[in-house]
Structure formats: C-alpha cells, structure tokens
Chain A
Amino acid sequence: QLQQSGPGLVKPSETLSLTCIVSGGSISSTYYYWGWIRQPPGKGLEWIASMYYTGSTYYNPSLRSRVAISVDASKNQLSLKLNSVTAADTAVYYCARQYDWKYPDYWGQGTLVTVSS
C-alpha cells in the first residue's frame, strides 16, 4: 500500500511538499523504482519524477529546475518537493511504485493540491 499525506492548499511561490509511506514491502527492493505523477483537474497524467533506492533520481525536463524527490529507507517513505508553485501546479498528485523503471503498477490514493492565496 502507498499512503500519501500532505497539505491540500499551498500559496503561490511557496513549496509543495508531499510524502508517501510504503507498507507491505520495502522501498529498498531491487525490483522497483518509486515515482510521482500528477493530474490537473479534468486533464491527463503527467510524470514528474522517479527514484531508485540507491539514490538515483530522474526528473521530467519540464519540471527539473523546481522538483526534488527523495527516499528515506529507514521510514520506508518517498517524498516530493516542488518549489515556486503557481496555479498551473494545481493537480491531484499520485505516488506510485514502478516495476523496474517501466510502468507504475501500484498507485497511492492521490492528494489534491490547490495553489491559491
């Protein structure tokens, strides 16, 4: 299971921070990568970033300058930070387990984050 948490409202220019706790398995598994995907209201899916437990990180080029993904293996936890947010960052954010790097096969429940003052 992937259990997400984080604020649902963030002010413009501030930093969006989300966490995802992995249960029922180890985030240090060699079989999986861990990632974040978002979905603006009424729109499609956009991959944000992924990470392997060794520390290797991978980012969507369009968001690279504003995003940081991290893993805390001791807590079996995945985190996302997106800075300098604008209204365009309003979306449902999902954490996901990726089989190898390939395809997300388990998803968190999603967190709606609204950017508004």
Chain B
Amino acid sequence: EIVMTQSPATLSVSPGERATLSCRTSHSVASNLAWYQQELGQAPRLLIYGASTRAAGIPARFSGSGSDTEFTLTISSLQSEDSAVYYCQEYNNWPQLTFGGGTKVEIK
C-alpha cells in the first residue's frame, strides 16, 4: 500500500508570493501523479497530471515537478482565488488510487 504525505498541512502566503507544496510517496510512483484544487464546498478540480502537465484551462502560475517519491506543486504568484485545499493523487498502483491528506493554502 502506498502512503502519501503532503506538507505542510497549512500554508499561509501573501498575494503575489510563491507557494510551494510538497507530496511524498512511500514507494516510487514514477511520474504517475496528479494534483487537484478543492475550493470550499466544491468538487476537486484537476490541475496537473503526469507530475508536470497542466490540465486544460489551468493558469500558467500553477506548475508541477518531481518524480519517483518526491513531488512539488508551485503557485508562482498567489492570487486570492487560489485559497483552497490541494491534494496529490498517485495512479501508479492501479487498480488502486490513493490521495494525499491535503495542504490548505490560506491568503495572508
């Protein structure tokens, strides 16, 4: 079973600053990792797949990097509408999908 650890649990960032979110997996998932944004009361929205490919319509300020067991989601210049919980998800171990515990991004 893959264990996925996201850090920090909460991140407080000022508008215009960079936000860096981490996702670590207990076993290698190669580049089979996705990131989601979930605003309060909404369904998750796919941001990144393949560790670094932005989904359709996702602003360029969102970028993903990493491989193997360590991954990063970067929001280059935080906007007020980026306040949300962000989840990573691995799909290397199908037929099982596993999500991380989430990082809450707050606007200072």
**Stretch of B20-28, B61-69, B73-81, B89-97 that contacts chain A:** B89-97
Asked if residues B43 and A47 are in contact (CB atoms below 8 Å), the reply is no
Total A-B pairs, Cβ < 8 A: 54
Cβ < 8 Å to A, chain B residues 36-59: 36, 43-46, 49, 55
Complex Cα gap A103–B53 (Å): 13
Is B43 within 8 A of A94, CB to CB?
A: yes
Q: Are A101 and B87 in contact (CB under 8 A)?
A: no
- In the bound assembly, the distance between CA atoms of A30 and B27 in angstroms comes to 30
> Could you give, for residues 47-77 of chain A, a 1 whenever the CB lies within 8 Å of some chain B CB and a 0 otherwise?
1001000000011110000000000000000
Tell me if B99 and A45 are in contact (CB < 8 A): yes
> B101 contacts which chain A residues (CB < 8 A)?
44
CB distance from B65 to the nearest CB of A (A): 17
The count of chain A contact residues (Cβ–Cβ below 8 Å) is 22
Contact A45 B87 (CB under 8 A): yes
> Contact at B96–A105, with CB atoms within 8 Å?
no
B7 at interface by CB-CB < 8 Å: no
Checking B87, B96, B97 against A44 with a beta-carbon cut-off of 8 angstroms, the contacting residue is: B87
Shortest C-beta distance, A108 to chain B (Å), equals 7
| A contact residues around B36 at 8 Å (CB) | 45
B87 to A, closest residue via Cβ? A45
Which one of B34, B43, B55, B94 contacts A107 once the chains associate, using CB atoms below 8 Å? B43
Q: Which of A47, A103, A105, A109 counts the most chain B CB atoms within 10 A?
A: A103
List residues of B whose CB falls within 8 A of some A CB.
Answer: 32, 34, 36, 43-46, 49, 55, 87, 89, 91, 94-102
Please list the residues of chain A having a beta carbon within 8 angstroms of any beta carbon in chain B: 35, 44-47, 50, 58-61, 94, 99, 101-110
